[in-house]
Structure 1
Amino acid sequence: MKNIILASCAAFSMTLSLFFEHTPTDKNTKLNSVETASVLSLDFPTSSLLTCINVPSLNFKDTLYYNYYAQTLGVRLNYSEDKHLLATVADWLGTPYRSGAASRQGTDCSGFVSKVYKEVYGITLVHSSRSMFQSVEHIKKSAIKAGDLVFFRRGPGKPIYHVGIYLNNNKFIHSASNGGVMVSSLNQSYYARNYYAAGRVNL
């Protein structure tokens, strides 16, 4: 099945390339071609196979937008995620870790989450993963969606020590003490072992 999908995507890409390389034969066709080319010249990669697989009805620009952030963040998206959220967290990638801080020069995990929530949703969260946990609606892991928070602790009875923002496909973005703002997977042994709960902020 996967090979059939990939083959379909390849055929679709070839068809597009033939269409856009076609030399226009009249003035009206030339105008349409130029307008189309201006869309294609946006700074988004067009090679992602995601455009061929389970994509909802989106315009071409939105599809490119989601493909760009799927590749930038390394996450398979549903094409329904908040675009402002994706753009904001992507801008923080690579920010170094700094305990107690919350800026582009350095941030800890709760500082990162609080800054993103303020910028994207206009919501002020306390700069503390434990306090955040107390203020959110607790949800099942199976119900997590993009923008929800994921919390971690080092064993039963231990306090919550870390928080991140869920993206999709078991991936979340957070400020890690060993690498700054990055995307990690809940399936990684360390995070799978220390995962505690998920929470949703009522927007």
Structure 2
Amino acid sequence: MKNSILYCLAAASMVLSFFFDSSTARSAASAVPAPQEASFISTLLSGSEEPRLLTASDSVAYNKAAHQLGIEATYTADQSLLETVVSWLGTPYRYGSNSKSGTDCSGFVTRVFKEAYGITLQRSSRSMFSSVKHVQKDEMQTGDLVFFRRGPGQPIYHVGIYLKDGKFVHSATNGGVMVSSLNQAYYSRNFYAAGRVEH
């Protein structure tokens, strides 16, 4: 008797399992797959003025990235640059290095430009400054380089990549790759110049 009950329970379990598996497979086949976060910008930024309609999952991924960058991203933003910058966020600071296990400011900038545009920049921030087209602060565009020094006559010691709305991304000694504001007292005081890499 005891064995009969166990056999019945096992058979019922198999039947329920069959129905559950087939209904899950049907709903999975009809569902629209969610985009992977690593490629969400490719699907959201079309490079034209007109945005395409976003699904709910697209909007979540898009808003998450905009939040990470601290900017209101637009559909005309540079797709390659944004994809590359997002992938580097949180990388720790390491002097003299330029990998995702650790990078300094100029190492970060050189890697981003190589990955996003295939452009090889000079390795030091001072060398970069001498090889860019200088632009006024109020004319900066996404992708321009921003340079810092600690007062008149002092050498350039830091470089980052301008995003928009006064925000730039850089590898800081006290936090690694992050987005900061040019309006923060420290960066406002030490901002020296902006430059455009012609490509």
Q: TM bucket by the smaller chain?
A: 0.7 to 0.9
Aligned counterpart, 1:60: 53
Matched, 1:198 2:194: yes
- CA apart distance, 1:66: 4.9
Aligned counterpart, 1:144: 140
Q: Superposition RMSD on alpha carbons, in Å?
A: 2.1
Match of 2:108 among 112, 123, 129: 112
- CA contact under 8 A between 2:80 and 2:116: conserved in structure 1? yes
Aligned counterpart, 1:94: 90
Instruction: Return the alpha-carbon distance in structure 1 between the equivalents of residues 54 and 130 of structure 2.
Output: 39
Instruction: Return the alpha-carbon distance in structure 1 between the equivalents of residues 134 and 140 of structure 2.
Output: 10
Matched, 1:83 2:79: yes
Aligned counterpart, 1:20: none
Per the normalisation by structure 2, the TM-score is 0.73
Instruction: Return the alpha-carbon distance in structure 2 between the equivalents of residues 111 and 148 of structure 1.
Output: 16
- CA contact under 8 A between 2:50 and 2:75: conserved in structure 1? no
Judge which range, 64-73 or 80-89, deviates more: 64-73
Match of 2:119 among 113, 116, 123: 123
Higher radius of gyration, 1 or 2? 2
- CA apart distance, 1:77: 2.5
3-state SS, counterpart of residue 198 of structure 1: strand
- Regions of 4+ moved over 3 Å: 41-44, 61-68
1:23-76 CA distances to partner (integer Å, 9 max, x unpaired)?
A: xxxxxxxxxxx6xx627x4357xxxxxxxxxxx521125984754421221212
Matched, 1:165 2:161: yes
3-state SS, counterpart of residue 93 of structure 2: coil
Percent of residue pairs bearing the same amino acid type? 60
Aligned counterpart, 1:132: 128
Per the normalisation by structure 1, the TM-score is 0.71
- CA contact under 8 A between 2:160 and 2:168: conserved in structure 1? yes
Aligned counterpart, 1:30: none
Aligned counterpart, 1:14: none
5+ long unaligned stretches in structure 1:
1-33, 45-55
Instruction: Return the alpha-carbon distance in structure 2 between the equivalents of residues 69 and 173 of structure 1.
Output: 13
Give the paired residue count: 157
1:124-151 CA distances to partner (integer Å, 9 max, x unpaired)?
A: 0011000000000000111111111000
**Letter of the aligned partner of 2:32 in structure 1?**
S
- CA contact under 8 A between 1:170 and 1:187: conserved in structure 2? yes
Matched, 1:42 2:35: yes
Instruction: Return the alpha-carbon distance in structure 2 between the equivalents of residues 77 and 145 of structure 1.
Output: 13
